[in-house]
Amino acid sequence: MIVAQIKPIEEIAESIKGAKKVLVAGCGGCVTVCLSGGQKEADILASALRMKLEVDGQPTSIETATYERQCDPEYAARFKEHLKDVDVVVSVACGVGVQYMAETYPEIIFVPGQNTTFAGAAIEHGIWEERCMLCGECVLAKTGGVCPIIRCSKSLMNGPCGGSQNGVCEISKDTPCGWQLIYDRLKSQNRLEMMTEVLPAKDWSKSRDGGPRKIVREDVRL
């Protein structure tokens, strides 16, 4: 799940300064799940912006609309009916959604309402934690389902550093050593022999290969 956080209201207000009609566009995907960009959050942001701009002497018409995704042509097209006479769209989707909508409607100004932070998971209600760097070369089969790139503060590929003590990372007593987590997981699965396999250096070209990455699935193309 992509996790994002709403930008400060002052920053968003500055980005729509001078606009007479604004649409706050929500997304029903990841940002709804992490409680930052669904219809409820879009309505709250719109209300806050109205009050902020009213106080600043810039009364602005602000409406909201939310569809399942902003990164898919089928759903992006549904926003068209809401864009008539709109000066600026504040997208509270992730950064992917903002860019996709801007490409779909190049004549409209789109600004982000959120800071996209990471791909993560809910570890308890209201708390999300990063779990994947989207590196394009997954080694979870060899590390007990624990990512060494994210869970190790130094992204070490073959065991802990000398600073790891008693299962705790040297950077903070609140951060568990990623390789201790891997060891414990493999031990619980009776697969500690996996620890003896030397993993090759990370091929970062699979993460950034000179431009945006693309995957083509010929079996599902129309």
Backbone angles phi, psi at 180, to 5 degrees: -70, -40
pLDDT(208) > 80:
no
Task: Report the pLDDT averaged over residues 145-171.
Answer: 95
Statement to judge: residues 24 and 113 lie in one domain: yes
Mean pLDDT taken over the chain: 94
Statement to judge: residues 152 and 181 lie in one domain: yes
In order, the DSSP letters of 112-125 are ESEEEEEEEEEEET
**In the listed set 118, 152, 180, which residue is the last one of a domain according to the structure?**
118
Q: How many domains does the chain have?
A: 2
**In the listed set 55, 87, 118, which residue is the last one of a domain according to the structure?**
118
79's tokens:
């926003």
CA atoms of 58 and 66, how far apart (whole Å): 25
pLDDT tens, residue by residue, 93-136: 999 999 999 999 999 999 999 999 999 999 998 999 999 999 98
51's tokens:
């009050």
Q: What's the pLDDT score for residue 161? A: 96
Q: Which of 24, 26, 98 is nearest to 63 (CA)?
A: 24
pLDDT tens, residue by residue, 54-78: 999 999 999 999 999 999 999 999 9
Q: Are strands 61-67 and 114-124 parallel, antiparallel or unpaired?
A: unpaired
Statement to judge: residues 113 and 138 lie in one domain: no
Q: What's the pLDDT score for residue 222? A: 60
Confidence band for 221, pLDDT divided at 50, 70 and 90: low
Statement to judge: residues 105 and 161 lie in one domain: no
CA atoms of 62 and 85, how far apart (whole Å): 12
Task: Report the pLDDT averaged over residues 6-34.
Answer: 96
